[in-house]
């Protein structure tokens, strides 16, 4: 139709345009994706909007890049794929985000409505397939529902316990005309924190002789780092973080003692075993932390704070359970500790822990001068400085990085925890680099995991991202090999792995690279990489049978811990 006064021809707004407008209204800046037939109308509309699209080389990488961006910014990450194999390739990334409570919105194309249910070309029931590991999945068959559904997907992704949400849109719906239909923001009612629970928590903290604060990823997700620090400093209680909680509390703080679990420091595991109170906030007591649940912290009363009520009592029964956002809960509890009268209460306990840490620190200092993981981590920290953000893959190198890299900057450690997704680091670093283009981003990966998404070097090159890659190359699937050594009589079945000459491989993408072996100057190599513009790949050839210590075998307790001396 035509408006006579303005002489402007109006055309109905399409579903694709409604999707783009919803993204803009949610403040989205970057989308990570890969086009295809069923999502083509959306991509056709995209150039008309100020949205920045990052073309990855594999849809799994799109999900991980959006994940990295979300973790780094605490905003909702967005990934896009077409139907069929495009959508199924997102699945691992969505499951990774779900396990680690990362807010994502995944947009997928679907075959047209008339073709659905007929095994049409590139048709998959992606909604049904992703229901087990998304917070919610939508199939939008009404064009008028596209805009409000997109907005609600973002609300669901970031509210409460964050997580991924899928929006599946048939191709003809993207083409169809649609109208605004009165989007209304969902009302989110915060869970109240009751006075008795807070008071009981304060009483437990004051009565304890050997308390520990155990902080998880929820502290980072809620932005509660200052509240955590204030509580620790006002009470004098030592702080432990989970693997995903690393960098929620500065490593160089006098109250930080490390992280526990299967490959956590022996001193931290023993401190938990001796503790009489665990103040756990924003963590879910997964099996990598607890080991044998019936032997975990046997003498401790437990305060458990988590935004997800279903986590309270799921693994460990708490003495006090509080279903609340970590920031809100910590702020409320701080009201009971407004002066410094409690700071010296746990001096003897901290001294006991410090004494148990002395052998570990001595071994670490001795290893600093030897070629290997500790020396490499120290060199990266020294060259990249305090602003560095470290993104790690999954395996031995992941444990070494968490053990020996000193994370003094808040939210500077990004890794896949719950799902343990090999291939995560390189694409996740893309998201981190877009979030913080002026800060150094380093990837630490093994020679197994790096090959799972190594094609993303092309994405990194195309956008000139300043990502440095350190490959700890031992010629094995290292963590699996370590288990085979300990529990399968060194029967290294299918764990030796080959790969390219990474220096030459980087050059084939137009990137700089260098091979580093024992005897080479590690610090000089890392400094050289840091000084180069853009992406650099360093291939560190390390001891093929280097192991991660300590190690608590699955289902066992701290008392069955394998230490470096074999004890």
Residue 309 lies in a domain: yes
The angle formed by the CA atoms of residues 421, 423 and 424, to the nearest 5 degrees, is: 65
- How far apart, in Å, do the first and last CA atoms of the chain sit? 82
- 144 and 280 fall within a common domain: no
Residues in the chain: 567
Can you tell me the distance from the alpha carbon of 392 to that of 404, in angstroms, rounded to the nearest whole number?
13
Q: Please tell me whether the overall predicted TM-score, pTM, comes out greater than 0.85 for this model.
A: yes
Positive or negative, the Cα torsion across 65, 67, 70, 72?
negative
Distance between CA 273 and CA 499 in Å, rounded?
Answer: 42
Taking the C-alpha atoms of residue 338 and residue 330, their distance in angstroms, rounded to an integer, is 13
Q: Do 270 and 356 form a contact (C-beta atoms < 8 A)?
A: yes
Give the residue from 113, 105, 250 showing the smallest Cα distance to 170.
113
Residue 440, SS3 per DSSP? coil
Residue 258, domain extent: 195-352
Distance from C-alpha of 107 to C-alpha of 140, rounded to nearest angstrom: 11
**56 with 33: CB under 8 angstroms?**
yes
In order, the DSSP letters of 508-521 are HTT-EEEEE-TTS-
Q: Does residue 170 share a domain with residue 30? A: yes
- Rounded Cα distance, 362 and 295, in Å: 29
- Whether the bond into 264 is cis, omega within 30 of 0: no
Q: Which position among 42, 123, 171, 422 bears the catalytic label?
A: 171
Pick the catalytic residue from 52, 121, 386, 406: 121
> Same structural domain for residues 381 and 521?
yes
Q: Distances from the Cα of 467 to the Cαs of 3, 99, 106, 260, 345, in angstroms?
A: 52, 26, 25, 29, 45
CATH number, position 314: 3.40.50.1220
Domain-embedded: residue 315: yes
SS3 378: helix
- Based on the fold, state whether residues 339 and 282 are members of the same structural domain: yes
Buried-exposed string 338-364: b where 16+ CB fall within 10 A, e elsewhere: eeeebeebbeebbeebeebbeebeeee
Q: Are the C-beta atoms of 465 and 430 separated by less than 8 Å?
A: yes
Q: Is residue 564 part of a domain?
A: no
Does 425 lie in the same domain as 289?
Answer: no
Residue at 565 is within a domain: no
On whether both 30 and 148 belong to a single domain, the answer is yes
59 is catalytic: yes
Q: What distance in Å separates the CA atoms of residue 290 and residue 287, rounded to the nearest whole number? A: 5
Q: Is the peptide bond before 550 cis (omega within 30 degrees of 0)?
A: yes
Catalytic option among 60, 98, 122, 482: 122
68 and 152 belong to one structural domain:
yes
Same domain, 322 and 425: no
Picking from 144, 178, 212, the residue at the C-terminal end of a domain is: 178
Question: Do 410 and 515 reside in the same domain of the chain?
Answer: yes
The pairing of beta strand 239-241 with beta strand 256-258? parallel
Q: Assess contact for 161 and 307: CB atoms under 8 A.
A: yes
Of 99, 283, 452, 479, the catalytic one is 479
Residue 357 domain-assigned (yes or no): no
Is 337 one of the catalytic residues? no
Stretches in the chain below the pLDDT threshold 70: 1-12, 180-192, 194, 339-343, 565-567
If you ran DSSP here, which 8-state letter would residue 244 be given? T
Q: Are residues 379 and 313 both part of a single domain?
A: no
Known catalytic membership, residue 283: no
Catalytic residue among 21, 59, 123, 456: 59
Do residues 461 and 347 both lie within one domain? no
Q: What is the CATH number of the domain that holds 171?
A: 3.40.50.970
Q: Is residue 368 part of a domain?
A: no
Let me know: does 90 contact 60? Beta carbons within 8 Å. Answer: yes
Nearest 10 degrees: Cα torsion 250, 252, 258, 259: 30
Strands 536-541 and 512-516: parallel
Residue 34 lies in a domain: yes
- Name beta bridge partners: 445: 471
Whether residues 292 and 383 fall in one domain: no
Residue 47 lies in a domain: yes
Q: Is 121 a catalytic residue?
A: yes
How many structural domains does the chain have? Answer: 3
For every residue of 192-240, DSSP letters joined together read PPPHHHHHHHHHHHHH-SSEEEEE-HHHHHTT-HHHHHHHHHHHT--EE
Residue 165 CB contacts under 8 Å (≥ 6 apart), including other chains: 104, 105, 106, 134, 135, 136, 137, 138, 153, 154, 156, 157
Contact 2, 9 (CB under 8 A): yes
Tokens of 277: 């109170």
Residues whose CB is less than 8 angstroms from the CB of residue 225 and which lie 6 or more positions away in sequence, other chains included: 219, 248, 249, 410, 411
């Amino acid at each position: 139709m035509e408006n006579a006064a303005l002489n402007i021809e109006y055309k109905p707004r399409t579903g694709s345009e409604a999707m783009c407008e919803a993204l803009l209204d949610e403040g989205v800046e970057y989308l990570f994706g890969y086009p295809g037939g069923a999502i083509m109308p959306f991509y056709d509309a995209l150039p008309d909007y100020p949205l920045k699209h990052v073309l990855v080389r594999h849809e799994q990488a799109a999900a991980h890049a959006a994940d990295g961006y979300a973790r780094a910014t605490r905003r909702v990450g967005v990934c896009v794929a077409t139907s069929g194999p495009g959508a199924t390739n997102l699945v691992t990334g969505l499951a990774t985000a779900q396990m680690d409570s990362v807010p994502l919105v995944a947009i997928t194309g679907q075959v047209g409505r008339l073709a659905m249910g007929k095994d049409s070309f590139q048709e998959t029931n992606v909604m049904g397939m992703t229901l087990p590991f998304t917070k919610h999945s939508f199939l939008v068959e009404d064009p008028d529902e596209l805009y409000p559904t997109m907005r609600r997907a973002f609300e669901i992704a970031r509210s409460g316990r964050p997580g991924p949400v899928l929006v599946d849109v048939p191709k003809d719906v993207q083409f169809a005309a649609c109208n605004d239909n009165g989007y209304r923001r969902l009302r989110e009612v915060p869970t109240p924190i009751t006075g008795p629970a807070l008071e009981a928590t304060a009483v437990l903290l004051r009565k304890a002789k050997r308390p520990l604060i155990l902080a998880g990823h929820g502290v980072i997700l809620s932005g509660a780092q200052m509240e955590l620090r204030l509580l620790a400093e006002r009470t004098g209680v030592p702080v432990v973080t989970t693997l995903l909680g690393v960098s929620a509390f500065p490593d160089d703080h006098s109250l930080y003692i490390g992280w526990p679990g299967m490959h956590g420091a022996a001193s931290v595991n023993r401190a938990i075993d001796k503790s009489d109170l665990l103040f756990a906030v924003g963590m879910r007591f997964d099996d990598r932390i607890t080991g044998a649940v019936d032997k975990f912290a046997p003498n401790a009363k437990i305060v458990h704070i988590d935004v997800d009520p279903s986590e309270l009592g799921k693994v460990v029964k708490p003495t006090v359970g509080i279903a609340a956002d970590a920031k809100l809960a910590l702020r409320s509890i701080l009201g009971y500790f407004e002066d410094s009268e409690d700071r010296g209460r746990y001096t003897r306990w901290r001294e006991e822990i410090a004494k148990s840490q002395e052998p570990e620190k001595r071994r670490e200092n001795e290893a600093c001068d030897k070629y290997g993981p500790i020396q490499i981590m120290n060199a990266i920290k020294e060259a990249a400085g305090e602003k560095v953000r470290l993104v790690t893959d999954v395996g031995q190198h992941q444990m070494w990085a968490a053990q020996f890299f000193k994370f003094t900057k808040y939210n500077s450690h990004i890794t896949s925890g719950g799902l343990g997704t090999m291939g995560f680091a390189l694409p996740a670093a893309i998201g981190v680099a877009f979030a913080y283009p002026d800060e150094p981003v380093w990837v630490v990966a093994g020679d197994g995991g790096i090959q799972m998404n190594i094609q993303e070097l092309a994405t990194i090159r195309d956008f000139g991202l300043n990502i440095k890659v350190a490959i700890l190359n031992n010629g094995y699937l290292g963590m699996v090999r370590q288990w085979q050594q300990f529990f399968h009589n060194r029967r290294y079945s299918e764990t030796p792995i080959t790969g390219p000459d990474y220096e030459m491989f980087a050059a084939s993408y137009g990137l700089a690279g260098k091979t580093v072996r024992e005897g080479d100057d590690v610090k000089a190599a890392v400094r050289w990489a840091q000084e180069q513009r853009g992406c650099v790949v360093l291939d560190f050839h390390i001891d093929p049978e280097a192991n991660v210590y300590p190690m608590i075998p699955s289902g066992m307790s701290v008392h069955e811990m394998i230490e470096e001396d074999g004890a």
